Amino acid sequence: MARISVVVGYSDYQCCKFVTDFLETFEYTVADTVEYGFDCICAVNKLKPDIVICDAFMYDLNVCQMIEKVKTVGVCDPAFVVATRSNVSHLLDMSVCRDISYYCLIPFDYLLFDKKLREIADSKNSSGKSVIYGTGSAISQPNREDRYDRVKCVSCIRNILSTLGIPAKMRGYKYILDSVLIALDDSEILYSLTKRLYPGLAKMSGVSAASVEHAVRVSIKYCWDNGNFIAVNDMFGSVVKPGACPTNGQFISILTEKVKSELGII
């Protein structure tokens, strides 16, 4: 009997280790482990696993967004299983997430989880949905995932933040970086910072939404007062009134557009 192939996606190291230890103990094939949602999508398209086990929220995407993108690309159709530390099912758009095959909390019962995974794999294989090779829209966008190459995006954002003069040690630095990564995929989130972006980043970091907003604001203020004046003026001079500091939304929006311009993302 062929071993079941699994891609594991967690931004939380301890959760990732718990799941991979389980998979190794019960002799599953761990095809890859990733920290970012975009990396998970790339791994799925490349390795064509039977199952993806992931957290509800990763650094850049939630599971609903990952499922939607995997289905859009159309290279394969793995079963998605969410195993997470916190009960966050009420935060997901379940109308989109009907394709989640199983949802449970960590720590889970090894024997029960193994039984569920094997039932899911058997059901998927018997229904003939194990692999869907790209046709139609998938062929017209062969390099769709490359548009959001995580390494290139992160490197570009870091270079811009460094040029502007925001130190990597500041708490807001990572929140800004993650905000831009999310906005590259979901531009609508820029219109909902308070309701969607800050709470999402807060849950990934174990802090409050107010803490995220404050950290971002402090980093932007530091950049405005102590950063590279020429770079700051070139990027924000035509948008922000003289002497005024850009709002969080302005800063993240302009930075997102700058990254899109440099990487050629439409």
Identify whether the C-beta of residue 15 lies closer than 8 Å to the C-beta of residue 106: yes
The mean pLDDT of 73-95, rounded to a whole number, is 74
Query: Maximum Cα–Cα distance for the chain, whole Å?
Result: 69
C-alpha span between 37 and 14 (Å, rounded): 17
Give the number of other CB atoms < 10 A from CB of residue 238. 8
pLDDT score of 180 more than 50 = yes
Identify whether the C-beta of residue 180 lies closer than 8 Å to the C-beta of residue 251: no
- Half-sphere exposure of 124 toward its Cβ, with a 13 Å CA cutoff? 26
pLDDT of residue 49: 94
pLDDT of residue 133: 26
User: Which of 47-61, 138-152, 156-170, 228-242 bottoms out in mean pLDDT, i.e. has the lowest?
Assistant: 138-152
DSSP 100: E
**Nearest Cα to Cα of residue 147 among 56, 252, 63, 73:** 73
C-alpha span between 257 and 265 (Å, rounded): 9
Average pLDDT, the chain: 82
- Which range has highest mean pLDDT (60-64, 97-101, 193-197)? 193-197
Say what percent of the chain tops pLDDT 70. 83
pLDDT of residue 91: 53
pLDDT of residue 230: 87
pLDDT of residue 4: 93
Residue type, 41: I
C-alpha span between 8 and 32 (Å, rounded): 6
C-alpha span between 121 and 76 (Å, rounded): 14
Domains of the chain: 5-144 (3.40.50.2300), 149-263 (1.10.10.10)
- Say what the alpha-carbon torsion angle 107, 109, 110, 116 is, to the nearest 10 degrees: -110
pLDDT of residue 129: 41
